[in-house]
């Protein structure tokens, strides 16, 4: 294995980092996220597959049978730069398999963990981002609880994502901020973030804008001034109907069906 942290796989008290339960020199509990990060760093190569059972064996019998418990730990590592796709991200993986695609922060080390700063948006900031983006996914345009085209049973759920992944910003010495946050549906937010190329740059987009016809430029200007693409009265009413409860939407469907039958 090529794990190469300066401190090596053995903690100051002579025990492998991933076998610790108490932080060396203290009475503080040594968290499972820290043990998990150390085990992956020193025991798995990049692009190597590991399973949930391996994690259970590595972290001890106290978490046997608690898959969601371990999944939460993996999510914590993903938030600090680790890229660990599951079968939901990579169709070649089995349901109990994961792949170590990229290492992130050395979470078991105090200095590394504390130096890893992430921009965390409060509920107020998240709402501000979604208000700014018109409560629609800026990638595919779907709105909250709206069905995806051709998939009437699949309702979209909105979240907040990043134009440029936080880990990529960190490696460049750049800060994350609200301008890097954007509204995304859960589906568009799912791809492994480090695989996504940087978004288009201003100069590149301006070239495309300049190539538009005069009429298209005027239309684009009106969209930008409104903060959204021009939509019809039908679109606006549909957005209102979409926010009703399931039963209320069913009542609207019944009303429309009866109206259509009466007019035929």
Domain final position from 56, 86, 115: 115
**Are 212 and 246 in a shared domain?**
no
Tell me whether residue 10 is in a domain: no
Res 235: pLDDT? 78
Structure tokens at 159: 């979240």
Q: What does residue 198 show for φ and ψ, rounded to 5 degrees?
A: -60, 145
**Are 57 and 74 in a shared domain?**
yes
**Are 128 and 169 in a shared domain?**
yes
**Are 212 and 136 in a shared domain?**
no
Res 227: pLDDT? 67
**Are 183 and 214 in a shared domain?**
no
Domain final position from 115, 148, 163: 115
3-state secondary structure (DSSP) of residue 81: coil
Tell me whether residue 3 is in a domain: no
Res 64: pLDDT? 47
Tell me whether residue 245 is in a domain: yes
Question: Within a 13 Å sphere around the CA of 45, how many CA atoms are in the beta-carbon half?
Answer: 3
Q: How are beta strands 151-155 and 181-185 bridged, if at all?
A: unpaired
Tell me whether residue 8 is in a domain: no
Tell me whether residue 7 is in a domain: no
Q: Which pLDDT tens digit goes with each residue over 114-171?
A: 666 555 667 888 888 998 888 888 888 888 888 887 677 778 889 888 887 766 665 5
- Domain housing 140: 117-198
**Are 111 and 79 in a shared domain?**
yes
Tell me whether residue 6 is in a domain: no
Tell me whether residue 48 is in a domain: yes
Res 1: pLDDT? 43
**Are 100 and 152 in a shared domain?**
no
Res 172: pLDDT? 61
Residues contacting residue 92 through CB under 8 Å, at least 6 positions apart: none
Residue 106, Cβ neighbours under 10 Å: how many? 21
**Are 80 and 94 in a shared domain?**
yes
Tell me whether residue 4 is in a domain: no
Domain count of the chain?
4
Nearest one of 55, 29, 60 to 43, comparing CA atoms: 55
Res 168: pLDDT? 67
Distances (CA, A) of 140 to 144, 147, 183, 197, 243: 12, 12, 10, 17, 19
Res 226: pLDDT? 74
Distance CA 3, CA 11 (A): 14
Q: How are beta strands 147-148 and 151-155 bridged, if at all?
A: antiparallel
The answer to whether 40 touches 3, Cβ cutoff 8 Å, is: no
Residue ranges in the chain modelled with pLDDT below 50: 1-6, 64, 192-194
**Are 106 and 141 in a shared domain?**
no
Q: Is 90 left (phi over 0), alpha (psi -120 to 50) or beta?
A: beta
**Are 23 and 49 in a shared domain?**
yes
Res 17: pLDDT? 92
**Are 98 and 46 in a shared domain?**
yes
**Are 74 and 141 in a shared domain?**
no
What global pTM score does this model have?
0.47
Res 98: pLDDT? 92
């Amino acid at each position: 294995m090529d794990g190469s942290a300066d401190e090596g796989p053995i903690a100051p008290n002579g025990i492998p980092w991933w076998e610790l339960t108490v932080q060396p020199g203290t009475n503080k509990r040594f968290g499972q996220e820290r043990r998990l990060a150390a085990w992956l760093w020193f025991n798995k190569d990049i692009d190597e597959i590991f399973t949930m059972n391996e994690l259970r064996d590595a972290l001890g019998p106290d978490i046997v049978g608690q898959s969601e418990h371990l999944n939460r730990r993996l999510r914590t590592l993903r938030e600090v730069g680790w890229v660990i796709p599951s079968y939901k991200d990579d169709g070649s993986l089995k349901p109990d398999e994961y792949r170590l695609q990229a290492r992130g922060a050395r979470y078991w080390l105090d200095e590394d963990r504390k130096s890893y700063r992430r921009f965390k948006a409060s509920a107020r900031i998240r709402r501000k981002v979604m208000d700014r983006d018109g409560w629609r996914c800026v990638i595919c345009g779907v709105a909250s609880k709206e069905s995806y085209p051709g998939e009437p049973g699949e309702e979209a759920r909105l979240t907040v994502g990043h134009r440029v992944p936080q880990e990529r910003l960190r490696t460049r010495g750049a800060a994350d901020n609200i301008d890097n946050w954007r509204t995304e549906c859960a589906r568009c937010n799912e791809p492994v973030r480090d695989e996504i190329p940087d978004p288009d740059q201003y100069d590149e987009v301006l070239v495309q804008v300049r190539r538009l016809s005069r009429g298209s430029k005027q239309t684009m200007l009106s969209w930008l001034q409104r903060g959204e693409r021009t939509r019809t009265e039908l679109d606006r009413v549909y957005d209102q109907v979409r926010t009703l409860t399931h039963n209320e939407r069913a009542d609207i469907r019944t009303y429309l069906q009866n109206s259509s039958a009466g007019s035929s």
